[in-house]
A and B are shown apart, each in its own frame.
Chain A
Amino acid sequence: MEPLLKLTNVKKSFGDIHAIEQVNLDIHKQSVIGLVGGNGAGKTTLLRLMSGVYRPTSGSVELENNRPVSEMRSVLGVVPESTGLYSKLTAWENIRYHSRLHGIDDQLAWDRTYRFAKLLDIEQSLHRYTEGFSRGMKQKTALLRALAHGPQILLLDEPTGGLDVTSARTVRQLVRKLKEEGGTVIYSTHHLAEAQQVCDRIIIVHNGFIQADGTPEELLSLTGTESLEEAYVSLTSETARPRMEENEQPSKMSRIWRRLFTPKKQLEVNEDE
Chain B
Amino acid sequence: MNSRKRIVIVAKKEIIEFIRDWRTIVALVLIPLLLFPLLFIAFPVVMQNEAAELNQKTVDILIQSNDIDDSLVDLIENQTAMVAVLPLDGNLSTLSDAENDTEELRNLEYDAILRIELRNDTWYYAILHLSTSEQSNEARSRILDVLIDWEDDLRTQRIESAGLDVESTLDPLQWDGPISNADVATKGEQAGMLLSLFIPFVLAIWTASAAVQPAIDMTVGERERGTLESLLSLPLTRTELLLGKWLAVVSITAVGVTLQIGGLLFGIAYLASDFIDVPSLSFAAIVLLALAVGFYGTMIVALYLALAMRSKSVKEAGSVLTPITLAMIMPILLTQFINLDDVEMFWFGVPFVNVLLGLRELLLNRIIIEHVIVWVLVSSMICLLTVRYAAKQFHREDIITTKS
Contacts and interface: CB of A to CB of B under 8 A. Distances in A.
Interface of A: 14, 48, 51-55, 73-74, 76, 78-89, 93, 97-98, 100-103, 142, 145, 155, 244-245, 248, 251
B29 interface: no
B234 A84 contact: no
A52 B238 CA distance: 12
Given A14-B398, A55-B397, A101-B6, A73 B235 contact: yes
B233 A52 contact: yes
B16 A100 contact: no
Interface residues of B, number: 28
A80 B226 contact: yes
30 contacts: A48-B400, A53-B229, A73-B235, A74-B235, A78-B229, A78-B233, A79-B230, A80-B229, A80-B233, A82-B225, A82-B226, A82-B227, A82-B229, A84-B226, A84-B228, A84-B229, A86-B13, A86-B17, A86-B225, A87-B225, A89-B16, A93-B16, A100-B9, A101-B6, A101-B236, A102-B234, A102-B235, A103-B235, A244-B401, A248-B402
Contacts of A102: 234-235
- Ranked nearest first, the 10 interchain pairs of A and B with the lowest CB-CB distance are A82-B226, A84-B230, A103-B1, A78-B233, A51-B233, A73-B235, A84-B227, A80-B229, A88-B20, A88-B17
A226 to B, nearest CB: 38
B230 A101 contact: no
A103 B235 CA distance: 9
B57 interface: no
B21 interface: yes
A83 B235 contact: no
Contacts of B228: 84
A80 to B, nearest CB: 4
B158 interface: no
Contacts, number: 77
A269 B225 CA distance: 34
A37 B364 CA distance: 69
Contacts of B234: 73, 98, 101-102
A97 B13 contact: yes
Contacts of A85: 227
Interface string B11-51: 00100110011000000000000000000000000000000
A254 to B, nearest CB: 10
Interface string B204-235: 00000000000000000000011111111111
A83 B397 CA distance: 20
Interface of B: 1, 6, 9-10, 13, 16-17, 20-21, 225-236, 397-398, 400-404
A166 to B, nearest CB: 24
A97 B226 contact: no
Interface centre among B6, B20, B232 (most CB of A within 10 A): B232
A97 B235 CA distance: 12
B266 to A, nearest CB: 31
A79 B232 CA distance: 12
Contact of B9 (A55, A87, A101, A245): A101
A89 B13 contact: yes
Given A84-B225, A86-B227, A97-B13, 5 more contacts: A53-B229, A54-B397, A73-B233, A80-B233, A101-B234
Interface centre among A48, A79, A80 (most CB of B within 10 A): A80
Nearest to B399: A53
A258 to B, nearest CB: 14
Contacts of B227: 82, 84-86
